[in-house]
Structure 1
Amino acid sequence: MSHLPVSVIIVSRGRPAALIRCLAGLSQQFYPTFEVVVVADPPGVAAVELGPYATSVKLVKFDQPNISKARNLGIAHAAGDIVAFIDDDAVPEPTWLGHLSAPFLSDAEVGAAGGFVRGRNGISFQWKARCFAQTGKTTDLNLQGTQPVVLHPTEERAIKTEGTNMALRRDVIASMGGFDPAFRYYLDETDVNMRLARNGVATAIVPLAEVHHGYHANSIRNSNRAPRDLFEIGASLAVFLRKHCAEQEHAQVWKSFQADQRKRALEFMVAGDLEPRDVRRLMSRLREGYKDGRMRDLESLPPISRSAEGLLPFGAHPDPQPVQLSGRFWSRRRLREEARSLVEAGKVVSLFLFSPTSLYHRVTFTSAGFWEQTGGIFGRSDRNQPLFRLTSFARRLRAEKLRVADQRRLFDE
Structure 2
Amino acid sequence: MIGSVTCSVVVCAYTLDRWDDLRASLLSVSDQSVQPDEVILVIDHNDLLLSRARTEFPGVRVMENRYRQGLSGGRNTAIAEARGDVVVFLDDDATADPGWLAALMKHYEDPAVIGVGGAAAPRWPAGRPAHLPADTEFDRGELDWVVGCTYAGQPETLTEVRNLMGCNMSMRRSVFASVGVFSEGLGRIGKVPLGCEETELCIRARQADPSARILFEPAALVHHRVTPDRVRWNYLISRCWAEGLSKAVVSRMVGQGDALSTERTYVGSVLPHAVGRELGRAVRRRRVRHLRSAGAIVIGLASTCAGYARGSMARSHGSRGSG
Q: Same fold (TM over 0.5)?
A: yes
- Answering whether residue 198 of structure 2 is matched by residue 189 of structure 1, we say yes
Given the two structures, how large is their TM-score scaled by the length of structure 2? 0.64
The Cα of 1:2 is off from its aligned counterpart by 2.5
Aligned to 2:311: 290
1:246 and 1:109 mapped to 2: Cα distance? 24
CA deviations over 1:69-107 (Å, ceiling 9, x no partner): 221111111111000111111000111111111110x31
1:296 and 1:68 mapped to 2: Cα distance? 26
CA deviations over 1:26-75 (Å, ceiling 9, x no partner): 11112234212212231542441342x13422322469553222211111
1:288 and 1:197 mapped to 2: Cα distance? 26
The Cα of 1:297 is off from its aligned counterpart by 9.4
Structure 2 regions of 5+ residues with no counterpart? 128-136, 143-150, 188-193, 276-288
Q: Which amino acid aligns with 2:251?
A: L
Aligned to 1:376: none
Q: Which amino acid aligns with 1:45?
A: L
Q: Is the 8 A contact 1:162 1:189 kept in 2?
A: yes
Aligned to 2:134: none
Q: Which structure: larger Rg?
A: 1
Aligned to 2:26: 23
1:287 and 1:206 mapped to 2: Cα distance? 29
- Answering whether residue 88 of structure 2 is matched by residue 100 of structure 1, we say no
**Alignment length (residue pairs):** 254
1:161 and 1:58 mapped to 2: Cα distance? 25
1:73 and 1:113 mapped to 2: Cα distance? 20
Given the two structures, how large is their TM-score scaled by the length of structure 1? 0.51
Aligned to 1:318: none
The Cα of 1:212 is off from its aligned counterpart by 0.7
Q: Is the 8 A contact 1:5 1:81 kept in 2?
A: yes
2:120 aligns to what SS in structure 1?
strand
The Cα of 1:175 is off from its aligned counterpart by 1.8
Indicate which of 222, 233, 245 corresponds to 1:235.
Answer: 245
The Cα of 1:174 is off from its aligned counterpart by 2.9
1:240 aligns to what SS in structure 2?
helix
The Cα of 1:166 is off from its aligned counterpart by 1.0
Q: Is the 8 A contact 1:35 1:57 kept in 2?
A: yes
CA deviations over 1:107-165 (Å, ceiling 9, x no partner): 1111111112222169946589xxxxxxxx9953353xxxxx463xxxxxx52321111
- Answering whether residue 5 of structure 2 is matched by residue 4 of structure 1, we say yes
2:203 and 2:20 mapped to 1: Cα distance? 33
- CA 1:88/1:225 → structure 2, altered by over 3 Å: closer, same or farther? farther
CA deviations over 1:293-319 (Å, ceiling 9, x no partner): 638999xxxxxxxxxxxxxxxxxxxxx
- Answering whether residue 149 of structure 2 is matched by residue 162 of structure 1, we say no
- Pairing 1:2-401 to 2, within 5 Å after superposition: 2-14=3-15, 15-41=18-44, 42=46, 43-51=48-56, 53-61=57-65, 65-104=69-108, 106-120=109-123, 124=138, 126=140, 139-141=153-155, 143=157, 149=158, 151=160, 158-184=161-187, 185-198=194-207, 199-200=209-210, 201-216=212-227, 222-224=229-231, 226-228=233-235, 229-230=238-239, 232-242=242-252, 243-245=254-256, 286=307, 290=311, 294=315
Q: Over aligned residue pairs, what C-alpha RMSD do you find?
A: 4.2
2:41 aligns to what SS in structure 1?
strand
1:234 and 1:167 mapped to 2: Cα distance? 25
Q: Which amino acid aligns with 2:311?
A: Y
1:59 aligns to what SS in structure 2?
strand
Q: Which structure shows the higher strand fraction?
A: 1
1:3 and 1:31 mapped to 2: Cα distance? 13
Q: Which amino acid aligns with 2:248?
A: A
- CA 1:38/1:225 → structure 2, altered by over 3 Å: closer, same or farther? farther
Q: Is the 8 A contact 1:232 1:289 kept in 2?
A: no
2:74 and 2:247 mapped to 1: Cα distance? 20
- CA 1:27/1:126 → structure 2, altered by over 3 Å: closer, same or farther? farther
1:226 and 1:289 mapped to 2: Cα distance? 21
Structure 1 regions of 5+ residues with no counterpart? 129-136, 144-148, 152-157, 299-413
- CA 1:16/1:46 → structure 2, altered by over 3 Å: closer, same or farther? farther
Q: Which amino acid aligns with 2:154?
A: D
1:4 and 1:194 mapped to 2: Cα distance? 24
Q: Is the 8 A contact 1:103 1:110 kept in 2?
A: yes
